[in-house]
Amino acid sequence: MIAIIDYDAGNLKSVEKALVFLGEEVIVTRDRNTILAADKVILPGVGSFGDAMGKLKEYNLVEVIKEVARIGKPFLGICLGLQLLFERSDESPGIEGLGILKGEILRIPEKEGLKIPHMGWNSLEFSGDGRLFKGIPKSSYVYFVHSYYLKAAELEIVKATTEYSTLIHASVEKGNVFACQFHPEKSGEIGLTILKNFANL
């Protein structure tokens, strides 16, 4: 059973549909006991960092997420769900993130000819040992929608990068905690393979 955390932030349905398509048993929930009883947990997200942290606090999900990370249950953050795992974001100054991983979320720098938000397909470069990317060819394209990007403090956790105005840490892995800035559920066959790799952990 994979639990998708429902905190009123975005792309729950598309993540659920992709996992059901892969034959996975899925539940969308914000119930603490259900989340802790699941085999794996996904934190999706679309929207602003500050609003999302507010919702996680309102629904008493902050400690639940930290507990999932602490007890070693496979956990995947997607898009805003990646950003929330870190300490802070330029988008919402003064608001603390979950702080499960070390690093910060920065505004994508303005660059002539590049639109922000970054919306569309970009290729990934892999470090070579990311478990989410098993069987995925180098320079595979995935779908991004974001105005802010991760700069991780621990470079060894970065498993995929992409270039858009700057070097973006596009996916991280540390122990049982995984996260992607891009949307695997909107990234065609490549994205489905990434989700299947997570489901198979």
185 counts as catalytic: yes
Determine the longest span between alpha carbons in the chain, in angstroms.
Answer: 49
Task: Please pick, among 24, 79, 146, 180, the residue that the annotation labels catalytic.
Answer: 79
The residues near 31 (Cβ < 8 Å, ≥ 6 apart) are none
**Radius of gyration of the chain measured on its C-alpha atoms:** 15
118 counts as catalytic: no
Task: Please pick, among 118, 146, 169, 183, the residue that the annotation labels catalytic.
Answer: 183
Task: Please pick, among 16, 91, 173, 185, the residue that the annotation labels catalytic.
Answer: 185
CB-side neighbour CA atoms (13 Å) of 4: 25
Contact in structure between 11 and 46 (CB atoms under 8 Å): yes
As a whole number of angstroms, the distance between CA 87 and CA 104 comes to: 6
* Alpha helices (runs of H) in 9-60, residue ranges in sequence order: 12-21, 32-37, 49-58
79 counts as catalytic: yes
Active site residues: 79, 183, 185
